[in-house]
């Protein structure tokens, strides 16, 4: 299972706890949870095949939010990429008109030190953010999946070898 903009969907995408029938094709499996999707129609879950083949675009169901709609990459994020595992709705970040790749929920191991962490925040991170506090709340060890995340999460993205992050809280 590979997505251009979402590195580890098996670990960091919201998925159903138990096998279910895909709301579009009916195939049974552990599929992407549809409760956070937006659109005129609610679906419970969507399988990998239906997601990657663009079935949600036909149904006008959106998995993610972008700032500018209407090009091929935006369509890929909005209709054919698992939702970001954030607490609040979050616009998929973009730098120099390129969408970033969501890597995982971050830990201290993702950064050489606190200074590197502080300098890697995205422009949309609020200036009043308490960076020292956030650094202290970062898990020491890399998380295996989103279930291991706490009530405050830092989301790690990449653009080539450059790292960026956003955060939010429950």
The nearer residue to Zn ion, 54 or 150, going by C-beta atoms, is 54
Smallest separation, CB 47 to Zn ion (Å): 3
Around Cβ 48, how many Cβ atoms within 10 Å? 18
Smallest separation, CB 59 to Zn ion (Å): 11
Smallest separation, CB 8 to Zn ion (Å): 21
Site residues for Zn ion, 8-47, by CB under 5 A, read 22, 24-25, 47
Place of tokens 């709340």: 137
Site pattern 49..88 for Zn ion (x: CB under 5 A):
-x--------------------------------------
Around Cβ 17, how many Cβ atoms within 10 Å? 7
**Measured distance CA(57)–CA(55) in Å, rounded:** 5
HSE toward the beta carbon, residue 99, CA cutoff 13 A: 24
Smallest separation, CB 46 to Zn ion (Å): 6
User: Strands, DSSP E only, in 54-131?
Assistant: 61-62, 94-95, 98-99, 101-105
Residue 1 lies near Zn ion (rule: CB under 5 A)? no
| Binding region for Zn ion (CB under 5 A) | 22, 24-25, 47, 50
């Amino acid at each position: 299972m590979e997505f251009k903009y979402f590195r580890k969907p098996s670990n960091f995408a919201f998925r159903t706890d138990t096998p279910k029938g895909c709301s579009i094709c009916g195939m049974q499996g552990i599929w992407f949870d549809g409760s956070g999707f937006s659109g005129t129609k609610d679906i419970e879950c969507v399988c990998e095949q239906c997601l990657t083949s663009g079935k949600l675009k036909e149904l006008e169901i959106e998995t993610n939010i972008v700032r500018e709609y209407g090009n091929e990459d935006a369509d890929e994020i909005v209709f054919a990429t698992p939702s970001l595992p954030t607490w609040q709705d979050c616009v998929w970040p973009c730098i120099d008109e390129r969408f970033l790749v969501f890597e995982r929920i971050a830990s201290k191991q993702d950064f050489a030190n606190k200074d590197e962490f502080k300098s890697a925040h995205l422009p949309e991170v609020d200036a009043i953010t308490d960076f020292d506090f956030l650094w202290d709340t970062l898990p020491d060890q890399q998380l295996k999946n989103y279930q291991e995340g706490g009530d405050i999460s830092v989301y790690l993205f990449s653009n080539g070898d450059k790292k960026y992050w956003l955060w939010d809280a429950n």
